[in-house]
């Protein structure tokens, strides 16, 4: 077996494995019970896409595609970080909304957006003429 035939067989096997992985990942995106499962599947789909590009670069001997794969990897990483931040913000309660609920929804707002203190009832000053209870 020559090196060309061996390389051809390896690229075909790699493409077959990548197609199988792509189908499993697509199934996870569709079925995935939670949003983090779907985000992880999308990240894996980017990795499978990078694999497709790498195998295609080897098969065509045009290695400029590897630069595209690197750029796709960077974009995929940034998308995963953005999705993770979205999931974290979605799961945390909004502190301003929690404060609103604690103080009543129609409390007046101060300059910084926080509820202003309600004026307290005035009490008479303690003098010697008033009786203390």
- Render pLDDT for 60-119 as a digit per residue (tens, 0 to 9): 999 899 999 999 999 999 999 999 898 888 877 666 766 777 776 554 555 555 555 555
* Domain span holding position 67: 35-90
C-alpha span between 131 and 127 (Å, rounded): 9
- Residue 21 forms part of a structural domain: no
**Interacting residues of 126 by C-beta distance below 8 A, sequence separation 6+:** 132
- Residue 53 forms part of a structural domain: yes
- Residue 59 forms part of a structural domain: yes
- Residue 43 forms part of a structural domain: yes
Exposure string of 24-37, with b = 16+ CB inside 10 Å and e = fewer, is ebeebeeeeeeeee
Which pLDDT belongs to residue 105? 58
Q: Per the structure block, which two tokens stand in for 103?
A: 């103080």
- Residue 22 forms part of a structural domain: no
23-65 confidence digits (pLDDT tens):
999 999 999 899 889 999 999 999 999 999 999 999 999 989 9
Which pLDDT belongs to residue 124? 57
- Residue 113 forms part of a structural domain: no
Tally of domains within the chain:
1
- Residue 54 forms part of a structural domain: yes
- Residue 81 forms part of a structural domain: yes
User: Is the pLDDT at 18 greater than 90, yes or no?
Assistant: yes
pTM: 0.65
User: Is the pLDDT at 131 greater than 90, yes or no?
Assistant: no
Which of 4-8, 16-20, 124-128 has the least mean pLDDT? Answer: 124-128
């Amino acid at each position: 077996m020559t090196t060309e035939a061996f390389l051809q067989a390896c690229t075909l096997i790699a493409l077959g494995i990548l197609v199988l992985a792509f189908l499993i990942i697509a199934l996870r995106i569709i079925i995935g019970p939670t949003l983090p499962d779907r985000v992880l599947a999308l990240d894996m789909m980017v990795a499978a896409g990078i694999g497709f590009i790498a195998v295609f670069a080897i098969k065509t001997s045009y290695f400029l595609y590897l630069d595209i794969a690197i750029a796709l990897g960077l974009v995929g990483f940034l998308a995963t970080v953005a999705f993770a931040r979205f999931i974290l913000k979605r799961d945390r309660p909004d502190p301003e909304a929690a404060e609103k609920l604690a103080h009543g929804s129609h409390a007046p707002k101060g300059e910084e957006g926080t509820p202003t203190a309600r004026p307290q009832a005035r009490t008479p000053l303690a003098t010697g003429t008033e009786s203390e209870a």
